Amino acid sequence: MKKLLLLLFVCSQSFSQTINFKGKLLDKETNKPVVYANVSFLKSNRGISSLEDGTFNLEIDRNLLKEQLHISCLNYKDTIVLASNIQNKTLFLQPKSFELAEVVVSRKVDRELVIDKYKRRDIKSSFGALRGHPWIITKYFPYKKKYKNTPYLNEIWVYFGSLISRKKSKFRIRFYKKDIKTGKPSDDIIREGILAFSRKIDGKVKVDVSKYDIEFPKEGFFIGLERLHIPYNFYEYSYKKEGSRKKYVSKSLAPSFGATYAKDSILIYSKGKWRDFYFPQKIYEGYQIQPAISLTLSN
For range 128-150, the mean pLDDT: 88
CA atoms of 25 and 93, how far apart (whole Å): 7
83-88: list long-range contacts, CB under 8 Å, 24+ apart. Answer: 83/21, 83/41, 86/23, 87/21, 87/22, 87/23, 88/22, 88/23
Least confident of 51-60, 73-82, 231-240: 231-240
Distance separating alpha carbons of residues 91 and 31, to the nearest angstrom: 10
Check residue 104 and give its pLDDT: 52
Confidence bin at 109 (pLDDT 50/70/90): low
The secondary structure of 192-237 as a DSSP string is: S-EEEEE-TT-SEEEEE-GGG--B--TT-EEEEEEE--SGGGEEEE
Asked whether the beta carbons of 159 and 204 are under 8 A apart, the reply is yes
pLDDT exceeds 90 at position 15: no
Q: Using one digit for the tens of pLDDT, what is the confidence trace for 201-211?
A: 899 999 999 99
* Per-residue pLDDT at 279: 66
The average pLDDT across 3-12 equals 48
Give the residue with greater pLDDT, 1 vs 173: 173
pLDDT at 9 over 50: no
User: Using CA atoms, how far apart are residues 7 and 157, in angstroms rounded to an integer?
Assistant: 59
Find, among 191, 230, 254, 173, the residue nearest to 54 by Cα.
230
User: What is the spatial distance between Cα 212 and Cα 4, in angstroms, rounded to a whole number?
Assistant: 68
For the segment 116-123, the average pLDDT, to the nearest whole number, is 93
* pLDDT tens digit sequence for 157-183: 999 988 777 889 999 999 999 999 999
Q: Burial, 248: exposed, middle or buried (Cβ in 10 Å; 0-12, 13-18, 19+)?
A: exposed
pLDDT tens figures, 256-280? 999 999 888 899 998 889 998 876 6
- The rounded distance, in Å, linking the Cα atoms of 134 and 78 is 14
Q: State how far the Cα of 100 lies from the Cα of 209, in Å rounded to an integer.
A: 19
Portion of the chain with pLDDT greater than 70, in percent: 88
- What mean pLDDT do residues 234-255 have? 81
pLDDT computed for residue 247 by the predictor: 80
Which one, of 165, 178, 126, 115, lies nearest residue 291 by Cα? 126
* This prediction's pTM: 0.86
CB 212 within 8 A of CB 174: no
Average pLDDT over residues 138-153: 95
Neighbours of 45 (CB within 10 A): 12
Average pLDDT, the chain: 87
> Model confidence at 107, in pLDDT bands (50, 70, 90)?
low
What CA–CA distance (Å, rounded) separates 294 from 223? 10
Q: What is the pLDDT of residue 61?
A: 92
